[in-house]
Structure 1
Amino acid sequence: MDQRNDQASSQRPARDDNKSRPNKYYSGPVSDHFDGTVFFNPGGTPPNGLRDLLKWQFGERRSRWPARFESPYSDAAPDARIEGDDLRITMVGHATMLIQVAGLNILTDPVWSQRVSPFSFVGPKRVNAPGIAFDRLPDIDLVLLTHNHYDHLDIETLKRLQKHHKPLVITPLGNDSIVGEAVPAMQVKTGDWGDRFDLAGGVRVHIEPCHHWSARGSRDRRMALWGAFVVETPAGRIYHIGDTGYHDGTNYHAAFRKYGGFRLAILPIGAFEPRWFMKDHHQNPHEAVEGFEICAADHAVGHHWGTFPLTNEPIDEPLAALKEALRRKGIDHARFRPLRPGESWDVPATAEAAVSAGKNAASGNL
């Protein structure tokens, strides 16, 4: 066994599921986060088991969400393209955002369905309309899929995107099998943590670690990889995390060491209660602010709240907790904004972004 496999063997936790099942999505070499059958978080924690799930579902009291929680922002009508050193982000809902930068239109974890569930008639139902009506979307060039949970990978939305936009999809290992089976014509590129994809106009997309897990059912837990994305553009770097536990800030520190800061971080702030069940895989707003500081982002968008009732906290608790976390740190609230559906933000330029854009404009790359 080579050194890499020795390291993987010493770091991986005891496998908690799928011990005798072949991986239905991915086959590849053992690594520091893949044991030959399932993926795992190095030095981290596997997902909770059935006993804990039942304890949460039947032993905990959930806060009642309103049937509707409409956004004060009207249905957005985005510009066709954003060029130069500008960076605009528009919230659609939950983890779905439209990022417009460097002439590209990028969707994160697109969900326009009414429910995030394997079934159309039961499961968490959205309490507000998508902030951008599907037929008002500009031409979509790129989709970033972080992992395969139903509130992030929505097959019906991907089918609609393929029919009307034919975007490129970039996603971590194994998720390409899920998308490819359901939407055969879709162009999908897949990669491991640390892999890079070079796109037009000087844009690069990197897949990076986050502390989470994956499943579409009870028999495929951790068979597809989860991940964060770093998007390097002439207008600056963007750090997007679909879902993550704080994990002592490990991945935030690694992102800072590798990239040296970001113009924008897109960080989850919701679905965090009860903490005994959620803490390893869903950070809370206080931890999101810690991560914001560690990765040296100039600005941040808080997402993963206020659209689908997934966990125990009240619908507006992420807002209050984020406000308090920023107050304690003495951070201007204008730097870390929890957007509502339909709300757009022209993210202020940093000195690094402005210099980069100027160089590219002078060389004719924009």
Structure 2
Amino acid sequence: MATRFKNLDGSEPHGFGTIFKWAVADKLAGRRRKSPDRTAVPRVEPDLAALATPPAPGEGARLTWLGHASWLVQLDGVSLLVDPVFSESLHHIVHRNVPPGVPPGKLPPIAASLVSHNHYDHLDLPSLRQVGAPIVTGLGHAPIFQGARLPCTELDWWGSTRVGPVTVHYVPSQHWSRRSLADANRMLWGGFVIEGSSARLYHSGDTAYFEGFREIGRRYPGIDAAMLPIGAYDPAWFMSKQHMNPEEAVQAFEDLGAARFLAMHWGTFKLTDEPLDEPPQRLDTEWTRRQWPREKLHVLAVGESLTVRHG
């Protein structure tokens, strides 16, 4: 039987009864907060000419938000995708609120797609097939990609691999995995630390707040940019075991010791009960409360790029 994975603290996801209470019983009883499925989210046209050429060694890293948890990460002459989802909907149920920041047909050549875990809003097989790049992901995922004829490198937590001159580390997150009724926690979930010659980057994947952020910061000091989720948190009684709210994401940023905060996992898909545009408002309020430098906080528009480097 395949390994059943657990979080660092030994926890596992909610049982079916708890999921039913949130998804069905609370909805029918009118106990869930209601908010629109659509709202305006900032989007800019990407600079495709610039994206065609990744930064060379020593020039730092260019990060382009494609929406949700999807990023184009370019450094040391290499272009990577993290959790690319270009589909118009998830299972024809949850529809995109905003188009992808870069259409898949206009991407530069991609050296690898990094997949944090197997949930459908992070592992979208049609998108990965369309890109056609080799996969880097957690343990247990290979059968998915064998069927799609995509080469796959599986990593355990704290494991590493090379993509050209770039090193990719797979690190823990506080979450869970499932793609069918019979495979709960059979595939590992996590985040990534991506290292080049002049930039060290962190993408958390999906995660609740947990003590692991301090350990990641200890093992990989000097993170230049942390891509952290700020949405899909309401109601807290159900979501706090698997997702962070904006205030917890700010605390995670502090624990990591990172130089820049890049917000993600908001505005693209209506997965939970909070309004789609609420997360960045709460993030801004918390940042202001802490009186932290504004130049460290980046809530990019979909399609917008930011270049970061050591120092």
TM-score band, normalised by shorter chain: over 0.9
What is the CA deviation profile of residues 321-344 of structure 1, one whole-angstrom value per residue up to 9, with x for unaligned ones? 110111122212331212221111
| Residue 205 of structure 2 is aligned to residue 242 of structure 1 | yes
| Displacement after TM superposition at 1:228 (Å) | 1.0
Equivalence for 2:263: 302
| Mapping 1:205-284, distance limit 5 Å | 205-247=168-210, 250-284=211-245
The answer to whether residue 16 in structure 2 is matched with residue 50 in structure 1 is: yes
Q: 1:199 to 1:135 in 2, by over 3 A?
A: closer
- 1:141 is matched with which residue? 111
For structure 1, list consecutive stretches of 5 or more residues without a partner in the other structure.
Answer: 1-21, 24-36, 352-366
SS in 1 for 2:80: strand
Who is 2:53 aligned against?
A: 80
Q: Distance in 2 between matches of 1:239 and 1:95?
A: 12
Distance 1:129 1:169 in 2: 24
CA–CA distance in structure 2, aligned partners of residues 224 and 62 of structure 1: 32
Task: Say which SS state the counterpart of residue 90 (structure 2) adopts.
Answer: coil
Matched, 1:101 2:75: yes
SS in 1 for 2:270: coil
Higher relative contact order (CA 8 A, sep 6+): 2
Residue pair 1:76, 1:132 contacting (<8 A) in 2 also:
no
2:87 maps to which residue?
Answer: 113
- Computing the radius of gyration from Cα coordinates, the structure with the larger value is 1
1:123 aligns with 2:93: yes
Q: Give yes or no for contact 1:70–1:129 (8 Å, CA) kept in 2.
A: no
How many residue pairs get aligned? The number is 303
Task: Please state whether the residue corresponding to 1:297 is helix, strand or coil.
Answer: coil
- Partners in 2 of 1:124 and 1:208 — Cα distance? 29
> How far 1:300 sits from its partner (Å)?
1.8
> Which blocks of at least 5 consecutive residues in structure 2 are unaligned?
none
Residue type of the partner of 2:161? F
Q: Does 1:336 align with 2:300?
A: no
Q: Which of 138, 144, 158 matches 1:194? A: 158
More moved, 274-283 vs 59-68: 59-68
CA contact (8 A) 2:113 2:128 kept: no
